[in-house]
Amino acid sequence: MIKNNKQCVLKIIKVLEKDLGQVKCALNFSTPFELLTAVILSAQCRDERVNKITENLFKRYKNISDYANADISEFENYIKSAGFFRNKAKNIIKSAKLIIDMHNGAVPHAMEELLKLPGVARKTANVVLGNAFGKAAGIAVDTHVIRIANLLKLTKYDDPVKIEKDLMKIVPKEYWIKFSFYIQVLGRRICKARNPNHEICALNKICPSAHIAN
**Are 171 and 9 spatial neighbours (Cβ–Cβ below 8 Å)?**
yes
Is residue 12 within the footprint of ligand SF4 (CB under 6 A)?
no
> With CB under 6 A as the contact rule, which of the stretches 42-50, 138-146, 168-176, 190-198 interacts with ligand SF4?
190-198
3-state secondary structure of 23: coil
Is residue 196 within the footprint of ligand SF4 (CB under 6 A)?
yes
Is residue 210 within the footprint of ligand SF4 (CB under 6 A)?
yes
| Residues 37, 171: Cα–Cα separation, whole Å | 28
Distances from the Cα of 11 to the Cαs of 70, 138, 166, in angstroms? Answer: 48, 20, 17
> With CB under 6 A as the contact rule, which of the stretches 25-33, 47-55, 64-72, 188-196 interacts with ligand SF4?
188-196
Beta-ladder partners of 196: 191
- Count the residues of the shown chain that bind ligand SF4, applying the rule CB under 6 A: 13
Q: Within a 13 Å sphere around the CA of 204, how many CA atoms are in the beta-carbon half?
A: 14
Nearer to ligand SF4, 30 or 195 (CB): 195
Is residue 20 within the footprint of ligand SF4 (CB under 6 A)?
no
> With CB under 6 A as the contact rule, which of the stretches 54-62, 64-72, 153-161, 194-202 interacts with ligand SF4?
194-202
How far does Cα 35 stand from its chain's mean position?
A: 11
Phi, psi of 196 (to 5 degrees): -65, 125
Q: What dihedral do alpha carbons 162, 93, 75, 81 form, nearest 10°?
A: 0
Q: In the annotation, is 71 catalytic?
A: no
Is residue 51 within the footprint of ligand SF4 (CB under 6 A)?
no
Query: Least distance in Å: CB of 186 to ligand SF4?
Result: 6
List binders of ligand SF4 among 124-163 (CB under 6 A).
148, 151
Largest CA distance in the chain: 55
Answer for which of 102, 130, 203, 213 binds ligand SF4 (CB under 6 A) is: 203
Nearer to ligand SF4, 94 or 153 (CB): 153
| Residues 78, 55: Cα–Cα separation, whole Å | 10
Q: In the annotation, is 142 catalytic?
A: yes
3-state secondary structure of 117: coil
Query: Least distance in Å: CB of 154 to ligand SF4?
Result: 11
- The residues that touch ligand SF4, with contacts defined as CB under 6 A, are 148, 151, 190-191, 196-198, 201, 203-204, 207, 209-210
